[in-house]
Amino acid sequence: MMTVKSISEMPTLTDADLTNTDPRLLEALARLNQIGAAINRFSVSGTFYSAHSAAEEVVATLLLIVESAIKVVPGASAVIYTYDHAIHVFDVLSRVSAGEQNASVHDAPRPDGIGTRAISQHRRVLSYEESDLTIHPVKVAAGAQAMACFPLIVANQPVGVLYVYLHEARRFRQFELLMLDNFVNQAAMAIYQARRLAHIQRDLTRKEDELNRLRRAGLLISSRLGLDETLEVILQMALEVTDAHYGIFRLVDEAGENLMARAVAGKDLGQPQLDVLPVDANSIMGWVAAHRQPLCIHDLYAAPWTRIYHPLYADMRMRSELAVPLIGSSGRLEGVLNLESPVVGAFSEQDSLLLQSLATQAVIAIQEARLLDALLEVAQLLLTEPYQEMLNHLTELACNLLDATASAVWTLDSDQCLSQVASTGYRRENGSQERKSSSPYDKLPVQESLIGEVVRTGRPVTSEDLRADMRFHRPELAREQNWARALIVPLRSTDDDRRPIGAFSVYSTAYETRHLTESEWDEKVLTCLAHYAVLALHNAQHRQALRAVQERQAIAETFAAVGDVAANVLHHLNNKVGTIPVRIQGIQDKCGTTLLADGYLAANLAEIERSAREAMAAVRENLSQLRPIHPAPVSVATCVVTAIEAAALSEAISVRTEGLDDLPVVMAGQQSLTLVFTNLLDNAAHAMRGTGLITIRGRTYGPWVEIAVSDDGPGIAPALHERIFEFNPSGRKSKRPEKAGTGKLGFGLWWVKTLMMRVGGSIAVESDGHHGTTFRLKLLYAEASS
C-alpha cells in the first residue's frame, strides 16, 4: 500500500534542482503558462469583443500552441484544424501551423486519414503504430517521416486535431508526448472557449435584434395605427427574423368558434386559400387555438400533421410550420399567428419564443384596438343615448371586452345597492333575462355583500369562486348560473371627494378558461367603463335637473299668467256674486213680515246667501294654489295629520304612520304639502275600493327626506307609471262629498307632481301591477336647502 507523505516530508525544490532541469521543460512550462494566460484573457473578456476581435484572439492562441509544440519537439512542424462535431466536417479554413519550410494548405484531413481516426476513436494516434494508415502525401513530400495526431476534445466532444510531424527518422520521446498532451488540452479549451464566446455573441446579436423588433412593435401599437396595418408589420418582422416563407394572422370570430383570416404576408403571394377554420383539432391552426399551446412542426408530411395540414397555397410545398396562440391577459383566445417554410426543420425553439413575444404584442394591439373602438362608440353615444340605454350598452361592452358571462351596474341608495341595469346574461330572481323596466332589478345590503364591500372601501374586489365566497350575498344564484370568478370596481363620483356612488361588476362561469382575477388589464378596462357609467349617471342627473328647472320655470310662468287671469276673474266675481248677500239682506229688511209668513221663501233666500258666501270662499281658496309658493320649514307629521282629517276616509280604511315624528322639518308650503297628502290618500282609498291599509313611512338619507305612501290595492301596471302623472283637467270625481276648504281642483296626480316640483321636491311611483302601489316623495331638509 502506498503511503502518502505529508507536505513536511516532501523534498524541497532548490535552486540547484532548477539548474539541473532540462531547459526545454522550463521553456515548455513557461509556454503553458503563457497559453493559459491567453485563454483566460479572451475567455473572460471575449464577450465584449467584436466577432472579428474574438476570432483574432483564438487564432493567436492556437498559433502560440503550435509554436510551443515545435519548441518541445525540435525540428518538427505542427498544424491545427478545427472540427465541427454537428456535421462531422473539418474546417479547412481554420488551419494554423508552425515550423513549415514550404507551407501548404493542401494537407486537409482525409476522410480515411490519421486525423479522422483520432477524432472517431478519441485517442492519440502515432503513425509508426498504425500499419494500415499512411501520412498525408503532401506532408511526406515536405519531408515528414513520422507524425503524431492528437484529438482536441472537450466534454467528450471533439473540436479539432493537432498534427505534429517529425522530419527525422525517429519516434516521439515520452517527454515530448507528455508536453504535447498538455498543449492539446490547452488548444481544445481555446477552441471551445472561442466557440462558446462566438455562440454567446450570436445570441446577444440575435437578442438585440429581437428586442429592437419588439420595441418597434410596441411603438407601432402606441402610435395608434390601424389594427390590420399593425398585424401586417408584425408579420413582416416575424418573417425577417425566422426567414419563413409566409405568415398569417387568424382571429377568432365573435362566437369564438372559427378562425378568420385577418392579415397575410410573405414571398410570392398569389391568391391564398383563406378558408374559415373551426377551432378544433381538424387543422393545425385550429389545434393550436383549441389547445392554446404553441406548435413547432419540423416536417408537415410526417404523421399526424400531414392529415390535418391545410396549405395556404395549393401549389406551394411547405415542409415546416410554427404556430402560436394569441391569448389575452384574461385568458381570452384572440386568434393564432402562423409561419410556414419550404425547409424541413426551419424553425427552432428560439424562433418559437420570439414568435410568442410578437404574438403578445399582437394581442396588445388587438385588445387596445377593441377598447379604443368601444370608447369611441361610447363617447358618441354618451350625449345622445338615454341613460338606461347607455348603461345597457356599457354592460354588454364589459362582457365583450372582458369575455365575461354577465355584468351589472349598481348604485348606492342609503344602506342598499340597487342594480340599475345588467347584461342579457344576468338572470334575475324570477329567472328573467329581459330588460322590461328601468327600475332596479336587485337590492343588496351595503354591509353584508360583495358589491357593498366595493362601495364601502372604494377599492376593486375580485373573487375566484362566488359559489363558495361568503362575501357574496346570493351564493345560490352563483351556483344556479355557475358563476365562478368575479371582478367588481367602484363607481366614483366626479366631485372632488371622489366618493364611491356604486359599482360595476362582471362575472364569468366555471367552464371558461379566462381569469378575471389575475389580469390588471381587466381591472383597467372595467374601471374605464365605470368612468363612462358615472358620466352617464351624472349626465342623466344633470338632464333631469335641467328638465326640472325648465318645467318649474314653465309652471311658474304659467301660474303667473293664470294668477293674473284669476285675479281679474275674482274681481268680477266679487262685483257680481258679492252683491247677492247684500241684496238678500235688503230683501230681508224690507220684506221681513212676508218672509216670516212664507217659510219656503225665507229658507231659499238663506240658502242663496250661504251658497254665494261659500262660492267666494272656494274661489279664494283655490286661487291661493295658483299664486307663487314661498317654501318655508314645515313639519311632515303635521301635514299628514291634517291631510288624514281632510280626506274623510271611510271607517274600513286604516292609516298607519312610521317614523314621521322623527323627521326633520322640510322646505315646502304648509297648505301645498297637506294638499299633496290629501290627494294621495284619496287616490289610495279609491284604488282599494274603500277598504284596506295605507302606510306612510318616513326616512332620511343624505340631504333628503323621503316619505313613502303605500296601499295594499291592486297596484298600477309598470306601463302606466308615467301616464298617471299626465295632465287631466277632468280628473276623477270622488263619490264622497268634499269638505269645504280642502282646495282640490280635480287635476289628480298631475297636480300632486306639480306641487312637489314647485316646492323643490319630486315624486315617483313603484308598483309591479299586482301587489299595491307606493308613491315616494323626496324633499330637502330645511337646513340642507339653506
CATH number of the domain encompassing residue 754: 3.30.565.10
pLDDT in tens, 615-639: 766 666 555 555 566 778 999 999 9
Residue 610 to residue 589: CA distance in whole angstroms:
17
Same domain, 248 and 272: yes
**Which of residues 58 and 741 earns the better pLDDT score?**
58
Q: What's the pLDDT score for residue 320? A: 92
**One domain, residues 86 and 158:** yes
Q: Please state, in angstroms and rounded to a whole number, the distance separating the CA atoms of residues 557 and 496.
A: 36
User: For position 110, what pLDDT does the model report?
Assistant: 93
In a domain, 387, yes or no: no
218 in Cβ contact with 361 (< 8 Å): yes
Q: Work out the average pLDDT over 73-84.
A: 92
Mean pLDDT of 643-651: 87
Within a domain: 214: no
Shared domain check, 688 and 605: no
Residue 631 in contact with residue 759, Cβ under 8 Å? yes
567 domain residue, yes or no: no
Q: Are residues 640 and 782 in the same domain?
A: yes
Q: Is the pLDDT of residue 663 over 60?
A: yes
- Whether 378 contacts 397, CB under 8 Å: yes
Do both 305 and 410 map to the same domain?
A: no
Mapped onto helix, strand or coil, the DSSP state of residue 288 is helix
147 and 230 inside one domain = no
Task: Measure the CA–CA gap between 534 and 652, rounded to whole angstroms.
Answer: 48
Tell me, yes or no, whether 693 and 683 share the same domain. yes
Q: What is the pLDDT of residues 440-480, one digit of tens each?
A: 457 888 888 888 889 899 999 888 888 888 788 777 777 88
Residues 621 and 699 in one domain: no
Mind listing the pLDDT tens digit for each residue in 353-408?
Answer: 888 888 888 888 888 888 888 888 888 888 778 878 888 888 888 888 888 888 89
Ranges 17-31, 743-757, 766-780: which has the least confidence: 17-31
Residues 46 and 179 in one domain: yes
- Within this chain, do residues 587 and 540 fall inside the same structural domain, yes or no? no
Confidence bin at 220 (pLDDT 50/70/90): low
Domain final residue, candidates 373, 402, 418: 373
In the DSSP assignment, the letter for residue 746 is S
Task: Give yes or no: residues 169 and 292 share one domain.
Answer: no
- pTM for the model stands at 0.51
**pLDDT of 232 above 50:** yes
The reply to whether 554 falls in a domain is no
**What grid cell was written down for 323?**
404556430
For residue 240, being part of any structural domain is answered with: yes
Percent of the chain with pLDDT over 70: 77
Q: Which of 605, 628, 651 is the last residue of a domain?
A: 628
pLDDT (tens digit per residue) in 725-765: 876 544 444 443 333 333 343 457 887 888 888 788 889 99
Q: What confidence tens digit (pLDDT) does each residue in 535-562 have?
A: 888 887 777 777 767 766 666 666 666 6
> 62 lies in which domain range?
20-201
Q: Considering the domain boundaries, does residue 384 fall inside one? A: no
pLDDT (average), residues 102-118: 87
The residue-averaged pLDDT of 232-261 equals 87
pLDDT at 118: 95
The residue among 655, 663, 656 whose CA lies nearest residue 637 is 663
Q: What is the mean pLDDT of the chain?
A: 79
The rounded distance, in Å, linking the Cα atoms of 241 and 216 is: 13
| Kind plus residue range of the DSSP H or E element containing 527 | helix 520-576
pLDDT > 60? residue 8: no
For residue 553, being part of any structural domain is answered with no
First CA to last CA distance, the chain: 111
| Of the ranges 164-173, 493-502, 512-521, 531-540, the best mean pLDDT one | 164-173
How sure is the predictor about 225, in pLDDT bands with cuts at 50, 70 and 90? low
Q: Determine the Cα–Cα distance for residues 259 and 252; give it in Å rounded to an integer.
A: 5
The rounded distance, in Å, linking the Cα atoms of 147 and 272 is: 63
Can you give the pLDDT at residue 146? 94
Q: How many residues does the chain have?
A: 786
Judge residue 235's burial from the number of C-beta atoms within 10 Å of its C-beta, 0-12 exposed, 13-18 middle, 19 or more buried: buried
Residues 64 and 127 in one domain: yes
Based on the structure, what is the number of domains in the chain? 5
Q: Residue 271 is part of a domain; what is its CATH number? A: 3.30.450.40
Q: Give the Å distances, CA to CA, from 283 to 304, 307, 356.
A: 11, 9, 20
State residue 658's pLDDT score. Answer: 94
Question: Which among 320, 313, 304 is positioned nearest to 270, based on CA atoms?
Answer: 313
Question: Please, how many CA atoms are within 13 Å of residue 496, restricted to the half-sphere of its CB?
Answer: 0
Select from 342, 373, 404 the last residue of a domain: 373
Least confident of 45-54, 158-167, 368-377, 730-739: 730-739
Which residue reads 300632486 in cell numbers? Answer: 752
Task: Report the DSSP pairing between strands 483-492 and 333-341.
Answer: unpaired
| Mean pLDDT, residues 31-46 taken together | 59
Range with the poorest average pLDDT among 129-138, 274-283, 718-727: 718-727
pLDDT range class, residue 28, cuts 50, 70, 90: low
Question: Residue 9: inside a domain, yes or no?
Answer: no
Residue 627 has a pLDDT of 57
